[in-house]
Structure 1
Amino acid sequence: MIKFTGSEVRDLLIAFFVISLCFAIANGGRDTNAILQMLPIVMVGVGTGFILHELGHKFVSMKYGYWAEFKLWPQGLIFALVTSFFGFVFAAPGAVYTYANYMTDEINGKISIAGPIVNIALALIFLAIATAVYTSAFNSETSFWIFIISSAAYSVNSFLAVFNLLPIGNLDGSKVLSWNIGIWIVTIAIAGILTAGSMTIGVENIVRMILGI
């Protein structure tokens, strides 16, 4: 059973809202109305992507018998807000800290890769949802908004996956690379392809390619 402390729940909620706001600013520019309109849409992708990413780390840590807890990094939140005004988000609001006297590179790598794998899985799930509702989105307002939200969630989750797999500093990628270079290459390649697709040809064109239209 996964257990949470009161401070951990508080930190997760703060990070969730601030990072959602950052992605809304990055996509809406400095237009307040655009940011407010984008915020609830982005919150779905960030909510599932960010929270489940961290829970992935926590679940695997506790599976190995370690205590794990998410802690906020205020400086990271501030930096994320600053970068969002330049059109991108350096998302490092905090991390799940695993408390252990000793941990092998393998276990550390498996704990670290859990978060990005969750994001990759979510990106594919949201892409499948966007594909399923695409044809009806032209005639149904409900389907239209499901498509918009799913498209944003696909983009956010694919980005979170590739970002966290970068072998920089204390990001997940550094630990995965130390454990198994082959697994790191395959995982970051998948995340990179998903992210590049959303940033270049766009989610709608990806869906149209899948549907063959």
Structure 2
Amino acid sequence: MSHNYWGSGYGVPFKYRHEIRDIVIALIAMTIAFALLFGTLTSLGGLIATFIAVLTGFLAHELMHREAARRLGYIAYFKAWWVGLLLALATSFFHFIIALPGATVIGPKVWGYPSQRDELKIALAGPATNMVFAVVFLALWLVLPSSLFSYAYLVYATNAWLGFFNLIPLALPGMMLDGFRVFRRDTRVWALAFAISIALVIPYILSII
């Protein structure tokens, strides 16, 4: 899963002119990777559902990090990670996936003063987006006719899992999950968000056991 990268301010460009290209390529590559993983590559309905799952689960997650950062006065843009995209495509052939399509690069603040609450808001924006989509598609999964509910389930499950996973308070060399950033800034906010993510992922877990 992708993670946001906070630049020190040195060497972080004010604009990244290849951002749209990176977004499009990441979206296409991740859709193919997940279609291979889910076995939906040859089904039009399944392929569309997979595209929506990637669009909401990954791209919307990263763009909400970007939007939150920009609203708080930071330079922010999405940058694809080519090795991560190739890794996602390669691993999808083996019935699992290592999904590291890219990250929201966050540079210096160009207006106002940085604060610890800024990191909390920016980090929470991504998983919160996943949880909102999980709620919407969980409801659709429960009410849609049998010919369509499996597609809603695919989008729900992707967002529920990513919302939960990203809120795990884990930090590794070179990668810090959103949950760790939220946890270190406000444990009460993290506990509430994590509890909601657990509640949303339970229907998915029950459906696969």
Question: TM-score, normalised on structure 1?
Answer: 0.77
1:152 and 2:154 matched: yes
Question: TM-score, normalised on structure 2?
Answer: 0.78
Could you tell me how far apart the structure 2 residues matched to 1:13 and 1:100 are? 26
Count of residues in correspondence between the two structures: 185
Q: How does 1:193-212 map to 2 (within 5 A)?
A: 193-201=199-207
Is the Cα–Cα contact under 8 Å of residues 58 and 69 in structure 1 kept in the other structure?
A: yes
1:123 and 2:125 matched: no
Change (3 A) 1:149 1:122: same
Opposite residue 122 of structure 1, the aligned amino acid is: F
Deviations 1:138-192 (A, max 9, x none): 5xxxxx23x2221111011112212222323222122112211222232223223
Opposite residue 174 of structure 1, the aligned amino acid is: F
Q: How does 1:181-196 map to 2 (within 5 A)?
A: 181-196=187-202
Q: Percent identity?
A: 34
Could you tell me how far apart the structure 2 residues matched to 1:6 and 1:119 are? 27
Q: How does 1:73-92 map to 2 (within 5 A)?
A: 73-92=81-100
Structure 1 stretches of 4+ moved >6 Å: none
1:49 and 2:57 matched: yes
Structure 1: gaps spanning 5 or more residues: 29-33, 139-143, 203-213
Could you tell me how far apart the structure 2 residues matched to 1:20 and 1:41 are? 10
Change (3 A) 1:177 1:158: same
Relative to structure 2, which stretch is displaced further, 58-67 or 191-200?
A: 191-200
Partner residue in 2 for 1:23: 34
Q: Which of the two has greater strand per residue?
A: 2
Partner residue in 2 for 1:93: 101
Cα deviation, residue 62, structure 1: 1.2
